Structure 1
């Protein structure tokens, strides 16, 4: 087991401790005007639904929108429908721990940021009184945890995240299955059905038209939020010095100060991030972006629309 510093590797204890940083965060609370979940996306996160309870005689003060006109005409007296709020709501936290995530040029690795975001999302759901479950996937397997309203279930999910995070190693073989992201989303579609909250944390490497189709299918009957983790190097390469790139046993040193190296590499990294981000936005799923250069919980607070003064 690798030493967990929270930057390259995370431990179960570290993920459990994030409960306290998630206490004042919520996907479902009313968001400030500048939030990614406000405005056009306000109806995308519906919170808990309502179950029909019974028909009864209208009483002064009842909401007129709940009048049942057919029953009222049939009985000759005003009748309203009553509803009870669902006791809880299932949520799936989907966390990517593929080898594409095992990279970081500044503060943290993408895999570590994703693990922390997955833990924060799980605690947010738990504190909202809803059922927590999820899928954790790497290049070889997909672990599934059924949603349950239980602290033990949160711990079980975070344990799987930590296990897969700890298994990442520069010596691991390259991904054999480029469709693993789509397979995880397909599994999610089979598990979720409808009326779930689905939070997908990934760099979305390898995303394509099939990914777009699956995201739209998930969003048709569920509330879906995408948390895209990226490294600042994809935005801007360093202008001088040398960049050491490793793929386990093979290492290549790139002279990034040379235009012949800097421009094509920058175009490739930046273009790939832009393409994936554009594709995700086409899915109409609310998208939040997280850099490896900053702490996960501070970025999540900002993305959910908190003012800069509320940051810690």
Structure 2
């Protein structure tokens, strides 16, 4: 991994390839992502969720929402909520007092999007990289519309773009632009490099979102280990964490009668899935990764949104959030 790439903090600077496809299922661009803004209006990342939303499930903690700022300490009035009585001050003064809080005007949100080569795969509708970019854009537009600060981290194999959550459309536009640029870098003939690790990205997330943020991570979580788990657990303790687990039907259920050619850009090997041992090993690898992510949901109490590259991004985001019906 190049040190220069790791130091990029304001945006992805490499020139976009002229070979970018016009097919939005393979690559997305700024114009396509902008069109999603009108489709994001019915999605909500506020604490009050529909009963069937994955953000309100039995195995996921409720979104805590914006925090509270202490405003003042004053005498108790008959119309006040008794739960806000400050019993220590009341005991000391002999007069009932309550603590008054006001809700924060907004809550910072950090949206993390994986655009590494492991995401450049799709067998039915979209590339996983496109699904991740579209779902991240939908989330960014909706959260901005809710009045919250929006920022993000977009990372590929060699580059990271960091956009700190700020008020105003400039940060939102910068995030969408970083998404489009990172997606355009993906190519089947890209040189084989050591990709930026998820652990390195999560360390950057912890730095930008130390506490009381909404953190959304869209990735296939291609390589995770004990350090990944520790970092995820820490983020979940200090923030509202939501994982968007992006997968493809082919990778989740390998066919048992195919000869698959796999390449790293320089070398290639043919895998015969008709061989029972080979097929079982591939299945165990894919299912083990998915099981590990879902186990995090149970153990650490945050929601996981299972996103498929085989389904329209707008439709599945609405379905996962308990919104009946199709597009309007």
Per the normalisation by structure 1, the TM-score is: 0.90
SS at match of 1:19: helix
RMSD: 2.3
Name the CA shift for 1:190/1:85 in 2 (closer, same or farther; >3 Å). same
Tell whether the 8 Å contact from 2:216 to 2:242 is kept in structure 1 after alignment.
yes
Name the CA shift for 1:68/1:36 in 2 (closer, same or farther; >3 Å). same
Tell whether the 8 Å contact from 1:216 to 1:284 is kept in structure 2 after alignment.
no
Q: CA deviation at 1:74?
A: 2.9
In the other structure, the counterpart of 1:200 is 217
Tell whether the 8 Å contact from 1:99 to 1:174 is kept in structure 2 after alignment.
no
In the other structure, the counterpart of 2:243 is 226
Q: CA deviation at 1:53?
A: 0.3
In the other structure, the counterpart of 1:302 is 319
Name the CA shift for 1:104/1:194 in 2 (closer, same or farther; >3 Å). same
Is 1:217 aligned to residue 251 of structure 2? Answer: no
In the other structure, the counterpart of 1:60 is 78
Tell whether the 8 Å contact from 1:215 to 1:285 is kept in structure 2 after alignment.
no
Q: CA deviation at 1:20?
A: 1.1
Tell whether the 8 Å contact from 1:205 to 1:276 is kept in structure 2 after alignment.
no
In the alignment, the residues of structure 2 paired with residue 268 and residue 43 of structure 1 have an alpha-carbon distance, to the nearest angstrom, of 28
Task: Pick 1 or 2: higher relative contact order, CA cutoff 8 A, min separation 6.
Answer: 2
In the alignment, the residues of structure 1 paired with residue 184 and residue 50 of structure 2 have an alpha-carbon distance, to the nearest angstrom, of 37
Which sections of structure 1, spanning at least 5 residues, go unmatched? none
Q: CA deviation at 1:4?
A: 3.9
Is 1:292 aligned to residue 304 of structure 2? Answer: no
Cα deviations by residue, 1:193-241 (Å, 9 ceiling, x for unpaired): 1110000000001111111100111111111000000010123233545
Tell whether the 8 Å contact from 1:99 to 1:175 is kept in structure 2 after alignment.
no
SS at match of 2:28: coil
Which one of 23, 28, 32 corresponds to residue 41 of structure 2?
23
Q: How does 1:140-289 map to 2 (within 5 A)?
A: 140-177=158-195, 180-240=197-257, 242-250=259-267, 254=271, 256-257=273-274, 259=276, 262-279=279-296, 281-289=298-306
Which sections of structure 2, spanning at least 5 residues, go unmatched? 1-17
In the alignment, the residues of structure 2 paired with residue 248 and residue 174 of structure 1 have an alpha-carbon distance, to the nearest angstrom, of 6
Q: How does 1:118-133 map to 2 (within 5 A)?
A: 118-133=136-151
In the alignment, the residues of structure 2 paired with residue 285 and residue 32 of structure 1 have an alpha-carbon distance, to the nearest angstrom, of 16
Tell whether the 8 Å contact from 2:90 to 2:96 is kept in structure 1 after alignment.
yes
Is 1:6 aligned to residue 24 of structure 2? Answer: yes
- The number of equivalent residue pairs is 310
SS at match of 1:126: helix
Cα deviations by residue, 1:235-275 (Å, 9 ceiling, x for unpaired): 32335455454443555555545656544444443444434
Per the normalisation by structure 2, the TM-score is: 0.86
